[in-house]
């Protein structure tokens, strides 16, 4: 499947920059957007600076778009105001603009922090109740619920990917379970864009890791087959962090240090 125009939000961010060259292969035109400046457009690209909280700007952003890869928004525990703008108001603006322009498919970068307060000794699936580990995770849970609403009411399909840790290699022992390689990130996003019927499907964004807390049957059902494994990094990660404090909340919980992170918990 090749799309006419894909919109990639969050294009100035880490994953946006990584996915930009990869997504070009799947469309004639890649529309890139962020509120921060992006590298200049090359052939087959267009760049539009827009704040997701700006309803009119987002409405214009979705014009002529066939599918959206929505990476834009706050990606860590930050102030409530920043989260509200990027992840709550921004999501509503995006889906409302998608509805008005007849966009049929969105891949939404949700986060494992939607369920970050489950323990690392529990295996959960997207069917378990959400258990956010902060306002950030809570805002991603809102995003998933919004996607469900826009499927139920308006027939817009979404794959919500609860991304674990997407980076070139795992850097902590926790990431033995949460790692999602960049190649597998591309595979899962492309699966989300091209699977024939998805309705609103929630999946975890993880590679084929030996250690796993997430039943990812829903991703397999869509046709996602991860090719990378964190196991090849186990030896070096265990050597670097030989002892884990079993009473440390960041070791106990799936969300890791996010369970204590940010202004939310410091009461600032």
CA distance 12 to 161: 20
Q: Does 15 bind ligand NAI (CB under 6 A)?
A: yes
Nearer to ligand NAI, 13 or 126 (CB): 13
Nearer to ligand 15L, 192 or 262 (CB): 262
Nearer to ligand 15L, 59 or 250 (CB): 250
Q: Between 30 and 59, how does the x/- string for binding to ligand 15L read (CB under 6 A)?
A: ------------------------------
For the chain, the first-to-last Cα distance in angstroms comes to: 48
- The DSSP symbol for 168 reads S
Q: Between 92 and 121, how does the x/- string for binding to ligand NAI read (CB under 6 A)?
A: -----------------x-x----------
Let me know: does 18 contact 185? Beta carbons within 8 Å: yes
Which residues touch 12 (CB under 8 Å, ≥6 apart)? 34, 35, 36, 37, 38
Distance of CA 106 to the CA centre of its chain: 11
Return the residue matching tokens 């869509």: 222
Q: What is the largest CA-CA distance in the chain?
A: 54
Q: Determine which one of 95, 118, 136, 204 is catalytic.
A: 136
Let me know: does 173 contact 237? Beta carbons within 8 Å: yes
Nearer to ligand NAI, 10 or 105 (CB): 10
Whether 118 is a known active-site residue: answer no
Q: Which stretch binds ligand 15L (CB under 6 A): 18-26, 39-47, 107-115, 142-150?
A: 107-115
CA distance 165 to 204: 11
The entry of ligand NAI, ligand 15L, none near residue 178 (CB within 5 to 8 angstroms by kind) is: ligand 15L
Q: Does 105 bind ligand 15L (CB under 6 A)?
A: no
Q: Does 111 bind ligand 15L (CB under 6 A)?
A: yes
Least distance (Å) between residue 180 CB and ligand NAI = 7
Let me know: does 53 contact 61? Beta carbons within 8 Å: no
Least distance (Å) between residue 58 CB and ligand 15L = 21
Which residues pair with residue 161 across a beta bridge? Answer: 109, 203
Q: Of 224, 165, 185, 132, nearest to 23 (Cα)? A: 185
The β-bridge relationship of strands 165-166 and 157-163 is unpaired
Q: Which stretch binds ligand NAI (CB under 6 A): 68-76, 95-103, 209-217, 253-261?
A: 68-76
Q: Does 74 bind ligand NAI (CB under 6 A)?
A: yes
Q: Does 90 bind ligand NAI (CB under 6 A)?
A: yes
CA distance 258 to 35: 25
**H or E element in which residue 58 lies:** helix 55-61
Binding stretches for ligand NAI (CB under 6 A): 10, 12-16, 34-36, 51-53, 71-75, 85-86, 90, 109, 111, 163, 165-166
Catalogue the active-site residues. 136
Binding stretches for ligand 15L (CB under 6 A): 75-76, 111-113, 165, 178, 256
């Amino acid at each position: 499947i090749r799309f006419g125009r894909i919109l990639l939000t969050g294009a100035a961010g880490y994953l946006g920059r990584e996915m930009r060259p990869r997504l070009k292969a799947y469309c004639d035109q890649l529309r890139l957007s962020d509120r921060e400046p992006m590298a200049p457009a090359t052939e087959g690209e267009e760049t539009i600076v827009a704040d997701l909280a700006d309803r009119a700007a987002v409405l214009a952003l979705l014009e002529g778009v066939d599918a959206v890869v929505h990476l834009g928004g706050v990606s860590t525990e930050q102030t409530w105001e920043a989260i509200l703008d990027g992840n709550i108001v921004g999501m509503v603006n995006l889906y409302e603009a998608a509805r008005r322009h007849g966009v049929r498919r969105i891949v939404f970068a949700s986060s494992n922090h939607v369920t970050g307060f489950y323990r690392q000794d529990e295996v959960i699936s997207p069917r378990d109740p959400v258990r956010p580990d902060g306002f950030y995770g809570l805002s991603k849970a809102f995003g998933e619920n919004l996607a469900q609403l826009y499927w139920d009411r308006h027939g817009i399909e979404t794959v919500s990917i609860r991304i674990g840790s997407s980076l070139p290699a795992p850097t902590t022992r926790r990431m033995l379970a949460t790692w999602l390689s960049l190649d597998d990130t591309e595979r899962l996003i492309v699966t989300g864009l091209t699977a024939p019927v998805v309705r609103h499907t929630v999946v975890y964004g993880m590679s084929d890791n030996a250690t796993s807390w997430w039943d990812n049957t829903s991703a397999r059902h869509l046709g996602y087959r991860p090719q990378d494994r964190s196991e090849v990094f186990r030896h070096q990660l265990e050597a670097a962090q030989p002892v884990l404090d079993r009473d440390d909340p960041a070791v106990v919980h799936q969300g890791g240090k996010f369970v204590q992170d940010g202004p939310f918990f410091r009461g600032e």
